[in-house]
Amino acid sequence: MKRWIFGIAAMLALAVPAQAASGAWLHVRVEETGAKPTTVKVNLPVSIIEQAAPLVEEKCVRRAKLKAGKEDFDKARLQSLWKAVRDTDDGEFVTVESEDENVRVSKSGGYLLIKVRDGGEKGENVDVRVPMSVADALLSSPGDELDIMAAIHALAREGAGELVTVNDKSNVVRIWIDEKNTSD
């Protein structure tokens, strides 16, 4: 769970707006309960993320592959699928309802929304809100590479808002962007 959460946080940190002039900040807050409660707060000015993104992109992203399970994803196929999602009306695309888990993937008001509700022992709830323009920008480069810098600039135009929330019995994770330099 922790690796998954920090993986999402790292990916979103690379896709944050480059609004140095307006003072945008990316916030990640992780609260763990239990015998030794721990809270981690990361507050980064977007200008720092903008400066770090080319390094990460050069060293990590260029060698990365898009994967779903054990299968590699071809970027051209992903772009084609994304275009179909983008061009369709708002609606609910995938709904999985079971005794243990409910998953919903939808498009609404310019956002791709992913909601997971775990009814099992974990009691985990995950909400992901991806601006459509950010995904468009990420997939805009020619070839097989993702365009991290274009995604950063697209998210800059989106402004403040929640990106990810995760709640379970022992953790609360929240990732958001606003104009404050503190997460309190």
pLDDT in tens, 4-13: 455 555 555 5
Q: Is the dihedral of CA 44, 45, 51, 53 positive or negative?
A: positive
Angstrom distance (rounded) from CA 81 to CA 71: 16
pTM of the model: 0.71
Q: Classify residue 124: in a domain, yes or no.
A: no
Q: Classify residue 119: in a domain, yes or no.
A: no
Q: Dump pLDDT digits (tens) for 68-112.
A: 556 666 778 888 888 999 999 999 999 999 988 899 999 999 999
Number of domains in the chain: 1
Query: In which domain, by residue range, is 169 found?
Result: 2-89+132-178
Q: Classify residue 126: in a domain, yes or no.
A: no
Q: Classify residue 112: in a domain, yes or no.
A: no
Residue spans of the chain under pLDDT 70:
1-22, 57-73, 120, 122, 156
Q: Classify residue 113: in a domain, yes or no.
A: no
Q: Is the dihedral of CA 123, 116, 129, 46 positive or negative?
A: positive
